Amino acid sequence: MKLRLLLTILFVLLLSNPLFALTGREIMEKNDALPEAKTAVSDVLMQIHKGERVIEKQFESRSKKFRNNEDKLLISFTRPTRIKLLTHAHEGKNDDQWLRLSSGKIKRIASSDKGKPFVNSHFYYEDIGSRNIDDYAYKLLGEEKAVDSYCYAVEAVKEVGEKVYSKLILYVRKSDYFIVRIDFYRKGNFHKYLENYDIRAVKGILTPFSTTMTRADKKGKTELKILKLEFNRNLRNSTFNKEALR
């Protein structure tokens, strides 16, 4: 009787423990199922910290979801320069990106340049845009605490398209499956990390109003702060054509 009771208690504990109930892929599917806006328009303040210097830039971001799991994003800087970046995210292949320089010249971002800094910040071109859940293989590593939240730690290795990072460690909040931190590895080494703060529910959509990308050695970071945000505004498809860069 005691043995049977012990086995029953153990069985219940195993069922109630998320580590045994969910795989890394299943956790990311729950994250992928979180509500998203069809369009988003925001004004963002970028603060680049390099040593004792802080460089401020400001831009407007416009994004829209299209059919066939395609997302398009247009970033237009309003100060101190008029640089623009257009990203077309595709399912199952590399994103297309075009950069409009201050001179007005438009250049296509090559796949080999995806791992280079965007406007001298700590964000790379690879970091700009959306990630498709099916482009990665996932492995649940365990449970960790990140950004004052209890999280699942999920390893993600990209299997489709250009591979800038050798792996990512995603910290998915257990309470709602929102990602609060990402660790980026390059050539197997811890390279930098992103943390999301001031997470608010705007029309039911979880949104970080402050995001920081920090070097692993903590000798530099870039902060993004949302100043203004609007979801589901009517945006014309033409807003995301290459001609919009001119």
Residues of the chain falling short of pLDDT 70: 1-20
Residue 152 in domain: yes
127 three-class SS: helix
Q: Work out the angle at residue 194's Cα, subtended by the Cα atoms of residues 193 and 196, and round it to the nearest 5 degrees.
A: 150
Give the residue numbers spanning the domain of 188: 24-245
- Residue 68 has phi, psi (to 5 degrees) of 60, 30
CB–CB of 154/168 below 8 Å?
Answer: no
Q: What is the DSSP letter of 188?
A: T
Q: Is residue 6 part of a domain?
A: no
Residue 5 lies in a domain: no
pLDDT at 161: 80
Examine residue 7 and state whether it is found in any structural domain, yes or no: no
Predicted local distance difference test score (pLDDT) of residue 20:
55
Q: Which of 131, 159, 172 is nearest to 24 (CA)?
A: 172
Tell me the one-letter amino acid at 106: I
Residue 229 lies in a domain: yes
> Is the full-model pTM beyond 0.75?
yes
For the stretch 27-31, contacts whose Cβ atoms lie closer than 8 Å and that sit 24 or more positions apart, written own/partner, are 27/138, 27/140, 27/152, 27/154, 27/172, 27/177, 28/133, 28/136, 28/138, 28/154, 28/156, 28/170, 28/172, 29/133, 30/172, 30/177, 31/172, 31/177, 31/178, 31/179
| Non-local CB neighbours of 102 within 8 Å, separated by 6+ positions | 81, 82, 83
Q: In this structure, are residues 84 and 245 in contact, taking their beta carbons and an 8 Å threshold?
A: yes
The letter for the amino acid at 12 is V
In a domain, 96, yes or no: yes
Contact between residue 186 and residue 124 where contact means Cβ atoms under 8 Å apart: no
Residue 245, pLDDT score: 87
For the domain that residue 152 is a member of, what is the CATH number? Answer: 2.50.20.10
What pLDDT sits at residue 92? Answer: 76
Structural domains counted in the chain: 1
Residue 202 lies in a domain: yes
Q: Which are the contacts of 173, defined by CB distance < 8 A and separation ≥ 6? A: 149, 150, 151, 179, 180
Whether 2 is in a domain gets the answer: no
Contact 146, 171 (CB under 8 A): yes
Q: What is the pLDDT of residue 10?
A: 47
